[in-house]
Amino acid sequence: MIDIHPVVHAISKLCVAMGVLMLAPAAIDWANGDPNWRAFAMAGGATIVLGLLVAVATPGDGRPLVVEQAFLLTTGLWVVLPLLGAMPFMLGAPAAGWTDAMFESMSGMTTTGTTAFPRLDHLPLGTHLWRGILQWSGGLGIVVVAMVFLPVMRVGGMQFFRSEGFDTMGKVMPRAGQIAAEMTQLYLGITLACAATYTALGMGGFDAVMHALTTCSTGGFGRYDASFAAFPGSIELAASFFTILASIPFVRMLQLVHGDPAPLWRDSQIRAYLGIIAAACLVILVYEALWRSVLPSADLAREVIFHVVTITSGTGFASTDVTQWGYLPFVLLFFIGLIGGCTGSTVCSIKVFRYQVLFEALRGQLTQMQSPHRVRPLRLQGRRLDPEVVNSVMAFFTMFVLSFGALIVALALTGLHPRTALTAAWTAIANIGPIWGPEVTANGSVADFPPSAKWLMIAGMYLGRLELITVFVVLMPRFWRQ
Amino acid sequence: MIDIHPVVHAISKLCVAMGVLMLAPAAIDWANGDPNWRAFAMAGGATIVLGLLVAVATPGDGRPLVVEQAFLLTTGLWVVLPLLGAMPFMLGAPAAGWTDAMFESMSGMTTTGTTAFPRLDHLPLGTHLWRGILQWSGGLGIVVVAMVFLPVMRVGGMQFFRSEGFDTMGKVMPRAGQIAAEMTQLYLGITLACAATYTALGMGGFDAVMHALTTCSTGGFGRYDASFAAFPGSIELAASFFTILASIPFVRMLQLVHGDPAPLWRDSQIRAYLGIIAAACLVILVYEALWRSVLPSADLAREVIFHVVTITSGTGFASTDVTQWGYLPFVLLFFIGLIGGCTGSTVCSIKVFRYQVLFEALRGQLTQMQSPHRVRPLRLQGRRLDPEVVNSVMAFFTMFVLSFGALIVALALTGLHPRTALTAAWTAIANIGPIWGPEVTANGSVADFPPSAKWLMIAGMYLGRLELITVFVVLMPRFWRQ
Ligand SMILES: [K+]
Ligand SMILES: [K+]
C-alpha cells in the first residue's frame, strides 16, 4: 500500500502557497475600492487555514518521494488546486456556478486558456489577476513536474531526459528543490521582461502584468473579449517572442544563464520547432498570395507569425478571425496545434521531441523490415535512443490519438456540432485555447455549452496537461493494490 | 540488386487475366447493341497482347519469390493494373480524362468506391460491369496478399498470422497457389449467393450481379446516382449480411467450409467486430430516441444497421443522408470507419485486430510503469504476442495517423473546404467511399474536385490499400541499393 501521508503533506503546503497568492487579487480589488476583494480574502483565508490544518495533521518525514508517490502528487495537485482556485469565481465576480468556476480554474491551472465566462471586459481587476496567476503558477508547476518528476516516472519517453540536460547541474532528485528555485527565478525574470516590454509598447500597467502572466505560461487567458485585437500590432510581435521563449526547454535557458549557450544552440528540438514555425508562416503567406491574391504586407506577416506561434505553442491568443484567411490556414493551424512546442517548457500537446522520436523509430522499422538480421541502434541528438524510450513515446502517441478521438465522440454525444466537438476536444487535450463552432460565444467562451460538455473538457484538459499516462497509471486498480 | 524479372513476369500474367476480364463488359455491351463494346474489346486486346509480350520476354524460373520481390509485386500490381483498367473509361463511356479514368480505376482496384463520374444512371452496362469487376478482383487480390504476402513481409503486425489460421492448412508459401484457388472459390460462392439473394429480393438481374461484385469486395461502387436508395429496404439487410461476411477473416470461413466451425466461433476479433457494430447501432438508436425524439422503428433500425455496417466495413453504400440523423451519428460513423473490419478480409482501414494489439500493449505499458522489473508477456487470442508484432502494429498506427493528417493538409492546400479535405482523406486512406463537403456532387462524386486533389486521393487510396508500410519500404532508397 502506498504511503499517502507525504503526498497529502506536500499538497497541503502548496495549498497554503495558493491561499497566499489569493491575497494579491484581494489587495488589488481592495485598493480599487471594489467589494470583490472579499471573495479573495475569504477564499484565501479558507485555503490557508485548510492547508495549514492538513499540513500539521500529516507531518512529513523528510524522506524523498518514491515513484508511486510522485504519480499521486502530480495527479492530486491538479485536482485539489483547481478546486480551491475555483472558489473566488463563485464567491465573487462573475458569481459563476460550480461548473463554470471549475472550468475556468482548470483551464487556468492547465494553461489551456479557454474561458467559461461570456463577458470579460467588465470583470474586476482581481478576477483577471487571479486568472493570470492561475495560469502562471500552473505553467511553473508543469515545468517543475516535467523536469523533476516525469523523467523518473518514465512518462511518455521523458526518461530520455533523465540525465540529459542536468549533466551540467548534477543529479536531479536530491536537488529538486534547487532546480525548482532556479526555474522559478528564470520564469519570473522572463515574465517581468515580458511585462516591461508590453508596457513599453503601450499596454496599460495592469494589462501588461496580466498578459505577461498568461503569455509566459503559454496559457492564453485574455483580459478583453477581443483578446489581442485590443492592442497595437507591435505587441503581437513581442508576444510572439516571449511565447517562443516560454515554449523551448527551460533547462537550455538555465544553461545559457549559467554561461553555456552551446546546448541551446545545438538542440535539434529547438531547431525543428523554429523550422516548423517558419515553414507554417511561409506556407500561409504563399497560399494567401497565390490562391487568394492577398499580397504579403507587414501587417499580414505579423498576424500570421503571431497566430502560428500562439497555436503551435498552445497559447491560444487571437487578434483576428483566422478562418477569414481561407481554408488552408485553418487546417494548418489545427495540425500544428497537435505538434506543440518543446519538452521541458510550459507547452502541452504531443511536442516536437516526440515527433522526432517517432520519425526516427519509423525509419528504423522500415530499415529493419528490409534487413531483419541487422539491428541498428536508433539515435537522437547524438545519443542512443533506448528502445524503452521509443516504446514509451509510441504508447503516448497512441493514447493521445485514441483519447482525442474518444473525447470528440463524447463531446458529440452531448449534442455539440461536429466542428465544435472536434475543436473543443483539440483545445482541451492539447491545452490550446480557441474553439470554433456555432455554440461558441462571441468572445470564444464555452458559456453556452451543456454542462456535460464542460465537464468532459475539464477531464480532457486534466488528462492532456498531465501527459495522459500519468493519470491512466493512477486510475489502474493495480496501482492501489501494490 | 533485386531480380525484378520474376516480378514483371507475374504482373504481366495478371495483366493477361485482366485483359480477359475486359471481354465480359465487351460481351454485355455487344449483346445490348451498345457501341461501347469496342472500348472494352480494344482495351482488352491491347492488355492481353501487352501482357503476353512482357510475359514471354521475362520467363520465370519457377523459384518462389523472395521477400523483396513480394514487396515489388504488391506495390507494382496496384499501379499497373489500375493504369490498364482505366483505359476503357477513356476509350468508351463516359469518355473520361485520364485523371478521372485513373481515379475511377484506382478507386475500383483499391475497393474504395468513390466515383469520379458525376452521373452514373445512364452509363452503359459494360462500364458498370467493369467497375464491379475492378472492385471484385481488387478485393480478391487484397485477400490473397493479406494471407500470403503480408505475414511474410511482416507488414503492420501481420506476422502474427504467419502460422496461425494456416495451422489446419499446412505451410503457406509453398501452397500459395492452392490457398489462392480456395479463396477464389469461397469468394465466388459468397458473391453468387449475394447476387441470388439480391435477385430474390427484387433487384434486376444485372443490378444484382453488379452490386454483388461491389458488396462482397466491400467496394461500394453503385450503379445508380441514388446508390442503395434505389432499392427496397429488405435489400439493405441482405447487403449488411454479405458485407459482414466479406469483412471477417476469410480463413475462418475456409475452416468452416472444411468442417471446423470452432475457430470462427472462438475468434476474438470477429466477436469484437460484431460487438462494435451492435454498440454503434444501439448508441445511434438511443440518441435518436432520447435527443431527437425519433422513436425507434423497423425502418430506422434497418437503415442504422445498414449504414453502420457499410461504414465500419469500409463498403460505403448509402441509402439515406446520414447527416440528417443529427451530429452524433455522423461523428460516430466517421470514427468507426477508422476502426474497420477484420484482418484477412477485403476491408481496409486500421482493423479490429490492430486495436486489440494496441490496447493489450498499452495495458502492458501502464502495468510495467508500476512494476518496472516484472516483465509480463502480452497475450492475444490465447497466444503470446511477440514484441516485434506490437512494435510493428504501433508503427503502422503511427504511420496511418501521420499520413492521414498529412493528406488532410495536402488536400486543404488544393483549396478544398476543411470538411471536404477531412472526409476525402478519410475515405481515401481507409478506402471507405463517401465524402461530405460543398465540392461533392449530388451523387457523391469527386468530379468537381481540382485534379491535384484527385491525384492526392489516388495516392491516398493506394497507400491505404497496401497498408502504407508496404509502399514506404519500396520508396526507401535503401530498398534499391541492397
Ligand atoms: K493555452
Ligand atoms: K469501400
d(Cα A256, Cα B467) in Å, to the nearest integer?
A: 46
Kindly state the average pLDDT of the residues B1-15: 89
Least confident segment among A166-170, B24-28, B83-87, B270-274: A166-170
Give the per-residue pLDDT at B64.
76
Contacts with A415 from chain B: Cβ below 8 Å: 291, 327-328
Q: Residue B336: pLDDT above 80?
A: yes
Among the partner-chain residues A331, A415, A478, the one whose CB lies closest to the CB of B367 is A478
Number of Cβ within 10 Å of residue B28's Cβ equals 22
The more confidently predicted of residues A440 and A65 is A440
The total number of structural domains in chain A stands at 1
Residues ≥6 apart with Cβ < 8 Å to B31: none
Evaluate whether residue B176 is within a structural domain: yes
Binding annotation of A for K(+): 111-112, 219, 315, 431
Among the partner-chain residues A327, A366, A408, the one whose CB lies closest to the CB of B417 is A327
CA B112 to ligand 2 centroid distance, Å:
4
Q: Dump the DSSP string for B377-441.
A: --EETTEE--HHHHHHHHHHHHHHHHHHHHHHHHHHHTT--HHHHHHHHHHHHTT-----STTS-
Residues ≥6 apart with Cβ < 8 Å to A290: none
d(Cα A135, Cα A315) in Å, to the nearest integer?
A: 11
Q: Helices (H), strands (E): how many in chain B?
A: 20, 2
Return the top range by mean pLDDT from A156-160, A161-165, B141-145.
B141-145
Kindly state the average pLDDT of the residues B414-432: 97
Crossing angle between the packed helical segments A98-109 and A125-144, to the nearest 10 degrees: 50
Residue type, A272: A
**pLDDT tier at B170, thresholds 50, 70, 90:** very low
Among the partner-chain residues B332, B394, B399, the one whose CB lies closest to the CB of A398 is B394
**pLDDT tens by residue, A112-121:** 999 999 999 9
Q: Is the dihedral of CA B335, B341, B342, B346 positive or negative?
A: negative
Evaluate whether residue A29 is within a structural domain: no
Q: Residue B167: pLDDT above 50?
A: no
Q: Is the dihedral of CA B42, B144, B458, B72 positive or negative?
A: negative
Q: In this complex, do A401 and B397 lie within 8 Å of one another by their Cβ atoms?
A: yes
Q: Which ligand is nearest to the CA of B227?
A: 2
- Residue A85, SS3 per DSSP: helix
Q: Residue A173: pLDDT above 50?
A: no
Burial class (CB in 10 A: 0-12, 13-18, 19+), B265: exposed
Contacts with A358 from chain B: Cβ below 8 Å: 398, 402
Evaluate whether residue B397 is within a structural domain: no
Q: Which ligand is nearest to the CA of B110?
A: 2
Give the mutation candidate from B356, B366, B385 for the A interface (greatest A CB count, under 10 A): B366
Range of the domain at B146: 5-185
Kindly state the average pLDDT of the residues B284-311: 92
**pLDDT tier at B176, thresholds 50, 70, 90:** low
Give the per-residue pLDDT at A169.
43
Kindly state the average pLDDT of the residues B353-374: 86
Q: Residue A385: pLDDT above 70?
A: yes
d(Cα B457, Cα B439) in Å, to the nearest integer?
A: 14
**pLDDT tens by residue, B266-280:** 899 999 999 999 999
Pull the grid cell for residue B286. Answer: 438511443
Evaluate whether residue A458 is within a structural domain: yes
Cα torsion through B397, B400, B404, B405, rounded to 10 = 50
**pLDDT tier at B303, thresholds 50, 70, 90:** very high
Give the per-residue pLDDT at A67.
84
Give the per-residue pLDDT at B166.
45
Evaluate whether residue B85 is within a structural domain: yes
Evaluate whether residue B258 is within a structural domain: no
d(Cα A456, Cα A435) in Å, to the nearest integer?
A: 14
Q: Is the dihedral of CA B143, B147, B153, B158 positive or negative?
A: positive
**Pair B408, B369: CB distance under 8 Å:** no
Evaluate whether residue B53 is within a structural domain: yes
ipTM of the predicted assembly exceeds 0.90 = yes
Pull the grid cell for residue B187. Answer: 469468394
Distance of CA B27 to the CA centre of its chain: 27
DSSP state at residue B343 = T
d(Cα B11, Cα B17) in Å, to the nearest integer?
A: 10
**Pair A443, A118: CB distance under 8 Å:** yes
**pLDDT tier at A66, thresholds 50, 70, 90:** confident
Evaluate whether residue B92 is within a structural domain: yes
Q: Which ligand is nearest to the CA of B221?
A: 2
